[in-house]
Amino acid sequence: MLHILGAGSMGLLWAARLQRAGFPTQLILRNIERLAAWQAHAGQLELTDPGQHQHISLSLNAELPDSPEPIRFLLVATKAYAAEDAVRSVQHRLSADADVLLLQNGMGSQQAISRQLPRHRVFYATVTDGAWRPSAHQLIWAGHGQTIIGDPRQGPPPDWLTRWQEHGLTLEWHADIMAILWRKLAINCAINPLTALLDCPNGELLERAHGRLEELSQELQLLMSAFGIPLSLDILRTQLDQVIRQTATNSSSMRQDIHCGRRTEIDFMLGFALRSADQLSLAVPALRKLNAELQTYLATHGLPLD
């Protein structure tokens, strides 16, 4: 049994993908109200995959964090700011050999959970799929992306990954997941806050924020290099340009969060980058200015600043 903590867009997408591939899943919902609402719909999920012209209906089991069954495998699919508390709520159920897989965007929550679970193997992932929920029981898999999984302690790939791949799940293993997370972080630090501040889709940044993207790329490259992440400025510029072009019509996750009045994951993007720069007394004025502007913007929208 695979336990999935958090039944939002990513949790439901993974539950659906795993269950359809033949792996039984169990959702863990936050409280009795959410469980009752889920069960009132008989646990039904309507999954629409417009790219594949598919509409699938499936039934997913759910339980509460204090359910008695031990957890052998835990997929954490909450937002970054909720992940530590969510894991704490089920920590007592993890069996000694349980593996944990973290899907959170940004950085910081992963390291905190690794510290929280020193005796378990905790895997990190970056995900570029796009999924959203028109309602609690409907999920749109808007874009198929890439999922890269790795072990921050650089251990070997786990057996479950091979089994999942053999059953058709497209997942990649990377021996240096920290480098992958840093690169994704750099891209998120450059794109997300600017699209939020300019209130524009990703593609418009190329015209409207070219100079700022360049300043940010330079600082992010210096920061990564200081943390031993090998990435030349040219490659970072090229990757950033590619992501902006490939996602030109997308609204970044931060812009979407702000539009919906939701807390953003800023603290796990710019916040993490600034704390990392502080650790090494590295000057990053462009990142700092961007963070200050975003804090003001969030405050004017009545949203949490972290």
Active site residues: 184
From the number of C-beta atoms within 10 Å of its C-beta (0-12, 13-18, 19+), residue 99 rates as buried
Could you say which of 19, 25, 26, 78 contacts ligand NAD (CB under 6 A)?
78
In eight-state DSSP terms, residue 250 is P
Backbone phi, psi, residue 144, to 5°:
-80, 125
| Binding flag, residue 103, ligand NAD (CB under 6 A) | yes
The one of ligand NAD, ligand KPL, none whose footprint includes residue 247, by CB under 5 to 8 A per kind, is ligand KPL
**Of how many residues is the chain composed?**
306
Question: Does 243 participate in binding ligand KPL (rule CB under 6 A)?
Answer: yes
Grouping H, G, I as helix, E, B as strand and the rest as coil, residue 230 is coil
Q: Is-contact 82 112, C-beta < 8 A?
A: no
Which of 29-37, 52-60, 93-101, 243-251 is the region at the interface with ligand KPL (rule: CB under 6 A)? 243-251
Of 175, 174, 194, give the one whose Cα is nearest residue 270: 194
Quote the CA–CA distance of 234 and 137 in Å, as a whole number: 44
Binding mask 197-236 for ligand KPL (x = CB under 6 A): -----x----------------------------------
Contact call for residue 18 and ligand KPL (CB under 6 A): no
Q: Which does 30 bind (CB under 5 to 8 A by kind): ligand NAD, ligand KPL, none?
A: ligand NAD
What minimum distance in Å lies between the beta carbon of 22 and ligand KPL?
Answer: 30
Q: Is residue 43 involved in binding ligand NAD (CB under 6 A)? A: no
CA 70 – CA 125 distance, rounded (Å)? 23
Which of these ranges, 2-10, 30-38, 117-125, 248-256, lies near ligand KPL under the rule CB under 6 A?
Answer: 248-256
Contact 26, 70 (CB under 8 A): no
Which positions touch ligand NAD (CB under 6 A)?
5-11, 28-30, 77-80, 82, 85-86, 89, 103-105, 127, 129-131, 253, 265
